[in-house]
Structure 1
Amino acid sequence: MADRDFHVEPIDYASGVEDLRRVREVVFVQEQQVPLELEWDELDPQCRHVIARDRHGQPIGTGRLTPQRRIGRMAVLAAWRGRGVGDALLLALMQQARQLGWADVSLHAQVSAEGFYARHGFVPLGERFHEAGIEHQTMQRRFDGAVAIDDSRAAVAALTALLQQSRRSLFIYSRALDPGVLDATALLEGMRRFAQGRRGAVIQLLLQDADAPQRNLSPLLPLAQRLPSVFQFRQIQEPADMAYPSAYAVNDLGGYYFRPLGQRFEGEAEWDNPGKARHLRDVFQRFWERSRPCSEYRALGL
């Protein structure tokens, strides 16, 4: 896994522990004040480790995969953050998990990093908790089949992943822009980045009720107004189409998040199921062609 400025490679714990220390003790012990005796544990010698190095071979990031199928000790030196090192480390660890034939991996994400892991298809499980004095969230990434979506936090994570893994297009069928999800700050920021960072990006949103988002001052509408070439809204008109009970989002690379009951967030998501995604896009397109453009959104005085 190479880059102009760094690369990621496996590293043997016994021979490479000093290089691991040069990253982990700076990030966790010095920066985050994790006690040294908690940073190093009995699992380390049993884990598969990866390390990121700069062009001179100096360590700049680490991560590990435990026998319990958990990713952990993800750390990047401050000067290298925001340059793709964390993404490369995580992808390398997920690739190792796949090669081992694992159906899924989990991790304990610091709450501040939930959005980062969500972009890679990790979904939150259970309640938040404290570990080494820092608030964490358990998250899971499945490799074989759909993952269950149980609440609004998981829904935001699923939609974040669909955005990240889209080529250019995302299609959303929603009753009324789903308050609690499509107004989440993290998702709005993800949509903004997607709209501004992908050439030819299009987000089509098909609604059953176009009035409610205006009444509720949905924060997605001002964003869409600023980027009208990307966001397209239509409203269902046909009575038979209004009876459709479900809701979903689907991208152009085989990912989807499907909710059997459109007024609820419970459902399933999958990142690589081209057949199911194609079916949902076909359903969406049929509804889209029979719907009316929401021209009133373009004139909002927001």
Structure 2
Amino acid sequence: MSVVTAPEQAFTVEAVDYQAALPHLRAVRDAVFVQEQGVPRELEWDELDPLCHHVLARDMQGQPIGTGRLTPEHRIGRMAVLPDWRGRGVGDALLLALIDTARTLGWHDLSLHAQVSAYGFYARHGFLPYGDRFVEAGIDHQSMRRLLDATNAVETHDAAIAALLGIIGTARRELWIYSRELDPGLLDQADVLAALRRFATQRGVAHILLQDALAPQSAHAPLIGLSQRLPSAFLLRAIEEPVDRAYAAAFIANDRGGWYFRPLGHRPEGEARIDQPARAKQLQNVFEPVWERARPCSEYRTLGI
């Protein structure tokens, strides 16, 4: 039985036997789903529970604080964290434990029904949306999925936003963004801008290459305004060499092995993965010589928008 310990947060996460851990699982799930969210108890507890793989988070006194499960259909569910423990890494640890369990079982894919309020959380862990939103137990949900140890296809605009959130959200200190004109419809979306702002305020640096510096300036792209407020975090350069301007693709990569590549830079369709350092390094190697040849976007520093 594997145990994940986070001393700085004073909790543990472990895989548990369903019957033995049932009182602890019930304490968390009833508190979160039944009492807090108003889910009927008969919907919360189902016939799949005894067949699932369960993980449980406990504080250092052994009291339950979070749960999650894997169903036989390779679906993550019943992710719950008690209110006092939210925002302290418990949800991340639970999800990582479930992903590790799936890998141990030899599973190659995972899916889940995310509450819309938790959409960004799952996107940060490499899950991409598919299908329309729906209501389950009176709560708006979005289906999401992730291939484990494989490339994930990005086929829609919503999936593109999720892919960006995953790459930005898992970056440590550096991002490399190769864009045509600051990707209107992607890099100007509220969730993406918020993720970039968080990254920047945590001392991250985003290197951004543009094929067309005039178009985003004329469109008052919000990322330009963000770069003016945080100039040391957003470094923008414009591509001028004809050989570099002929490059058709666009991409974002980070320093933890995450990347999202679009063969056609004006389209959202492409591929993404949050855990492939070799491919991320390859894209960085494409980026760096072009960066050296490009000119700084000095006109952005004084633009009033």
Cα offset for 1:3?
2.3
Counterpart residue number, 1:205: 208
For structure 1, which runs of at least 5 residues remain unmatched after alignment? none
Counterpart residue number, 1:240: 243
Cα offset for 1:220?
1.3
Counterpart residue number, 1:162: 167
Counterpart residue number, 1:255: 258
Counterpart residue number, 1:271: 274
- When structure 1 is superposed on structure 2, of 226-235 and 189-198 the one drifting more is 189-198
Residue pairs, 1:208-219, within 5 angstroms = 208-219=211-222
Secondary structure in 1 aligned to 2:73?
A: coil
Cα distance in 1 between the residues matched to 2:172 and 2:27: 37
Total equivalences in the alignment: 300
Normalising by structure 2, we get a TM-score of 0.95
Counterpart residue number, 2:297: 294
**Residue type at the aligned position of 2:24:** D
2:123–2:163 CA contact under 8 A, matched in 1 = yes
Percent sequence identity over matched residues? Answer: 61
Cα distance in 2 between the residues matched to 1:74 and 1:273: 26
**Residue type at the aligned position of 1:301:** G
CA deviations 1:128-175 (Å, max 9, x no partner) are: 111111111111122122100012221121122112322311101111
> Do residues 118 (structure 1) and 128 (structure 2) align?
no
Cα offset for 1:272?
2.7
Q: Which runs of 4+ in 1 moved over 6 A?
A: none
Counterpart residue number, 2:103: 98
**Residue type at the aligned position of 2:268:** F
Cα offset for 1:127?
1.4
Residue pairs, 1:67-146, within 5 angstroms = 67-146=72-151
**Alignment root-mean-square deviation, CA:** 1.2
Counterpart residue number, 2:287: 284
Secondary structure in 2 aligned to 1:72?
A: strand
Normalising by structure 1, we get a TM-score of 0.96
Cα offset for 1:189?
1.4
Cα distance in 2 between the residues matched to 1:11 and 1:277: 36
Cα distance in 1 between the residues matched to 2:185 and 2:277: 28
Cα offset for 1:119?
0.9
- When structure 1 is superposed on structure 2, of 209-218 and 113-122 the one drifting more is 209-218
Cα offset for 1:100?
1.0
Cα distance in 1 between the residues matched to 2:257 and 2:60: 35
CA deviations 1:259-282 (Å, max 9, x no partner) are: 111110000012233332222111
CA deviations 1:215-249 (Å, max 9, x no partner) are: 22222122111111110001111122211111111
Secondary structure in 1 aligned to 2:79?
A: strand
Counterpart residue number, 2:62: 57
